[in-house]
Amino acid sequence: MPMARESLLDAALSALAELPWSGVRMVDVAAAAGVSRQTLYNEFGSKDGLARALVRREADVYLRGVDQALAEHAGPADRMVHVAEWTLGSARSSVLVRALLTGCWSERLPAPSPPRAPRAPTVPAQRRADAGVPGPAELVATVRDRALAALQAQVPGADPVHLGRYCETAVRLGLSCLVAPPGRGEGQAGYLRAVLTRLPMRAPEQPPRA
């Protein structure tokens, strides 16, 4: 039930804006979504399953924004500036994206427990709910790999390892602005652009050996 699933996740996210996750009740989430509590359990199996699905959806929204930033801008540096800006903006606007990227889960948030081995029979919806969520290193690596795939054709001859480090640096630079914002004079956009347009995408050439 795709529509019911999205309605339930929307209801859970709305409840989380008002209450700590420990105070969010499954019966209230179901009522807010206009479905039965049984439908909620059929989709997610448990409150932990709902938490994992909610966090994974936020990760998917963030990654779709990364893909859009990579697709909508032309130059390689410009693409990574927008990926860094999107990363910073997403972490500021979504507490779940911020927790996913930093690994800092407050007591208010639904820090998902590791998924348990599925018990047969398990319906497909519950199998989706039992899937794990990405950690910070995994999520950053996913962005790095997607950016690397988008940039390689634009930076011919670049060492993939070095170019991958450049892509990862852009993501981490965006996150650094969350912790220590740039000065007012420059602003985040100017700072990110100034740094990322000057960082080399190709490894420096090594001098020939004597």
Residue 138 is assigned to a structural domain of this protein: yes
Residue 140 is assigned to a structural domain of this protein: yes
For 155-173, what is each residue's pLDDT tens digit? Answer: 988 899 999 999 999 999 9
pLDDT band of 132, cuts 50, 70, 90: confident
User: What's the pLDDT at 121?
Assistant: 44
How many domains, the chain? 1
| Cβ 81 vs Cβ 192: under 8 Å | yes
Residue 35 is assigned to a structural domain of this protein: no
Residue 187 is assigned to a structural domain of this protein: yes
Signed CA dihedral, 134, 62, 112, 180: sign only: positive
**pLDDT value at 57 more than 90:** yes
pLDDT band of 83, cuts 50, 70, 90: very high
**Which amino acid, 88?**
L
CA distance 59 to 51: 12
pTM score of the predicted model:
0.86
Residue 190 is assigned to a structural domain of this protein: yes
Domain that holds residue 176: 57-112+125-197
Q: What is the mean pLDDT of residues 63-82?
A: 93
| Cβ 182 vs Cβ 95: under 8 Å | no
* Domain harbouring 85, CATH code: 1.10.357
Residue 144 is assigned to a structural domain of this protein: yes
Residue 32 is assigned to a structural domain of this protein: no
At 54, which helix (H) or strand (E)? helix 47-72
Residue 75 is assigned to a structural domain of this protein: yes
